A = this chain, B = another copy of it.
Amino acid sequence: MTALPSTEELAAFRTEVRQWLAKNAPPKPKWKLPDSFMEVGTDEEFEYLQKWQRKVYEAGYLGMTWPKEYGGGGKVAVYQHVVDSEMARARVPFMVNLIGLFWAGPTILRLGSEAQKQRYIPKLLRAEEIWCQGFSEPENGSDLANAQMTAVREGDEYVLHGTKVWTSLGAYAHHMILLARTDKSGPTKYNGLSFFLAPMRVPNVETTPIRKMTGEHGFTETRFDGARIPASCLLGEEGQGWNVALTTLAFERGAEGGQAGGLAMVPLRVSQVVEMAQTVTRDGRPAIEDPVVRDRLVQFAIEERGMELCIHRMRTPALTQPRPFAVPMMAKLVMSEARRRLCAFAVSLQGENAKLYCGDPDAYLDGDFQRAYMNAFSATIGGGSSQIQMNIIGERVLGLAKG
């Protein structure tokens, strides 16, 4: 680790990043950019985003905190924070290999073998190999430990049987992190699970696209029907899969740092909705002139800034007492719920035109907010629904009893 940069060094770095982004931000595509990695549904979307991630990586702006020997930058975290905030500010596209950068990568770096780190990390950063996640199964949406997929060891291989569902990027991924049952005789459902870095492009793995409520495609169902994968894909020890998964979940829920950085989705800012409220009219006058609309917009702005400032406050440990983990644990819940409410509100400002949808030439911003409202549920449902998040926070942060 290098030393902490001075304020001047950081300011200079911020300027450099800003300039780079101004010069290198990808041109707006002709088609509608997905709202997040979970919405990537066509080849052209995928390729455009893959190219963008590679460009960011090659500029040295991704995986900045990861070890140099695996392709990372070996820098302190504050540099990546600067990059991420500048990318949000510049509203450039998100990183397509998000599961690799945020969840699979950190897990491999924490618990993987030296061979695994060398094998997977560099290609992951370069978006050369895309990752997806196989935790949910059709009968077990939230109850991950109840995985029914089986993995049977046969020589140097494991044979997989079962189905994973809600797999974002399932059609493009090279690897899937997944939980499978290697032993059914354990005393509880938590025993006998193993964690694999499973290749997707082997025989007997079949992905079926699932159509989302927006009408678009985005995720898949993945069937493993006797697929054979090398035993070297096992991460950690056989039977210790639940503990590995908990590590991944801690990364996913933001309770642990160590992600490679980059944007997870194009953030929706209150100021964009304000801009719309200044543009569209409600009953003949700009929506922004309605005092009730103003009151609600201000409230959204307060909450947005409150959450943003929480991230800042975390940098001064003395100001995080008595709940140092509250902010990282609550970020996903608060931000995804705020986004859902803000999208719904943004739609409502459009008057009769709120009924238009993407593709209609007269829809405001091509129906961006209408679609974004629907897509907002992917974050309030996926990765542990808001209800599950509240259980977790209530129990782990507030110390309340389990239900």
Contacts and interface: CB of A to CB of B under 8 A. Distances in A.
A292 interface: yes
A403 B402 CA distance: 13
Nearest to A292: B295
A399 interface: no
Interface string A260-296: 0000000000000000000000000000001110010
Nearest to A296: B292
Copies in the complex: 2
Contacts of A295: 292
A403 B295 CA distance: 38
A292 B292 CA distance: 5
A291 B294 CA distance: 11
A292 B298 CA distance: 13
A291 B291 CA distance: 6
Interface string A289-326: 01110010000000000000000000000000000000
A245 to B, nearest CB: 27
Contacts of A292: 291-292, 295
Nearest 6 interchain pairs by C-beta: A291-B291, A292-B295, A292-B292, A291-B292, A290-B291, A403-B403
A293 to B, nearest CB: 10
6 contacts: A290-B291, A291-B291, A291-B292, A292-B292, A292-B295, A403-B403
Contacts of A403: 403
Nearest to A290: B291
Interface in A118-158: none
A291 B295 CA distance: 10
A181 to B, nearest CB: 27
A291 to B, nearest CB: 4
A230 to B, nearest CB: 44
Contacts of A291: 290-292
A292 B291 CA distance: 7
Interface in A353-403: 403
A290 B403 CA distance: 43
A291 B282 CA distance: 15
A52 B295 CA distance: 47
A169 to B, nearest CB: 36
A310 to B, nearest CB: 27
Nearest to A403: B403
A255 to B, nearest CB: 27
Nearest to A291: B291
Interface centre among A290, A292, A403 (most CB of B within 10 A): A292
A291 B403 CA distance: 42
A292 B290 CA distance: 10
A298 to B, nearest CB: 11
A391 to B, nearest CB: 13
A37 B403 CA distance: 36
A298 B354 CA distance: 24
Nearest to A295: B292
Contacts of A290: 291
A283 to B, nearest CB: 13
A291 B290 CA distance: 9
A295 B291 CA distance: 10
Nearest to A294: B292
A129 B292 CA distance: 53
A403 B403 CA distance: 9
A387 to B, nearest CB: 13
A290 B290 CA distance: 12
A310 B213 CA distance: 35
A237 to B, nearest CB: 38
A290 B295 CA distance: 11
A70 B403 CA distance: 49
